[in-house]
């Protein structure tokens, strides 16, 4: 692939901007400056140095981010900062999108990609990809509420009762539950239907990926990691 096209695909600007970067000697491959925009470069295993920044070529990009509270999952936020400000501008230029959304006040694991099929497969209700949440409850939870969640609660926009895949009290006011439904405010609505309310919400796992484990072992709030092929296989292992 031509070098200028590689840079453009990776999110380093328009074709003209990428051509200028190359002609200014700002692109190195294996330590050598490549200043010809039309140079044909093999992309497999390609590692570039662009304006002193090391960049690994990825045909499609997959990212896991630990979302802090106070960020909107939107490119055009209305009242808070955009979650996309936590990602490199190159990924925003590539038009990565979040796989579903987390509310402004919800923290935890959020995935991004520029692979439309990947996003659809993880978002589709037909795929039944599980997600695990910890909900800090407004009032102490009860065994009866847990049983209601497991049996299924009625939601206005669902024709049948919606059950949690699992639910248990970790503390008096801390409930852990897993679901495979991606509806708007679904965890908060389910807990409300069971007779309690959510004070704080955190998503700890998505599919086979869990914060604090594996590739996400050292991920802190506001940080992200690229997911590689083995991580994607792990992600789908729980589906």
Q: Which residues are catalytic?
A: 103
3-class secondary structure for 30-94? Answer: CCEECCCCCCECCCCCCEEEECCEEEECCCCCEEEEEECCCEECCCCCCCCEEHHHHCCHHHHHC
Tokens of 12: 């380093």
Burial of 3 (0-12, 13-18, 19+ CB in 10 A): buried
Burial of 12 (0-12, 13-18, 19+ CB in 10 A): buried
The C-alpha atoms of residue 98 and residue 91 are separated, in whole angstroms, by: 12
Per the rule left: phi > 0, alpha: psi between -120 and 50, beta: everything else, 137 is beta
The C-alpha atoms of residue 133 and residue 156 are separated, in whole angstroms, by: 22
């Amino acid at each position: 692939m031509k070098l200028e096209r590689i840079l453009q695909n990776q999110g380093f600007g328009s074709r003209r901007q990428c051509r200028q970067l190359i002609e200014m000697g700002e692109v190195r491959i294996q330590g050598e400056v490549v200043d010809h925009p039309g140079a044909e470069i093999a992309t497999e295993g390609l590692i570039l140095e662009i304006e002193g920044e090391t960049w690994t070529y990825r045909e499609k990009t997959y990212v896991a981010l630990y979302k802090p509270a106070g960020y909107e999952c939107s490119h055009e936020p209305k009242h808070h900062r955009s979650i996309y400000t936590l990602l490199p501008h190159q990924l925003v230029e590539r038009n990565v999108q979040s796989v579903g959304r987390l509310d402004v006040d919800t923290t935890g694991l959020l995935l991004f990609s520029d692979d439309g099929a990947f996003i659809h497969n993880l978002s589709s209700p037909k795929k039944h990809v599980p997600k695990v949440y910890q909900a800090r409850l407004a009032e102490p939870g009860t065994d009866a509420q847990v049983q209601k969640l497991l049996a299924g609660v009625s939601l206005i926009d669902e024709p049948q009762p919606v059950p949690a895949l699992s639910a248990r009290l970790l503390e008096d006011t801390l409930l852990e539950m897993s679901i495979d439904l991606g509806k708007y405010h679904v965890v908060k609505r389910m807990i409300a239907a069971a007779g309690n309310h959510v004070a704080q919400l955190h998503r700890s796992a998505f599919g086979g990926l869990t914060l604090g484990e594996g590739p996400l072992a050292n991920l802190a709030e506001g940080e992200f990691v690229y997911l590689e092929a083995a991580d994607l296989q792990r992600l789908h292992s729980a589906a």
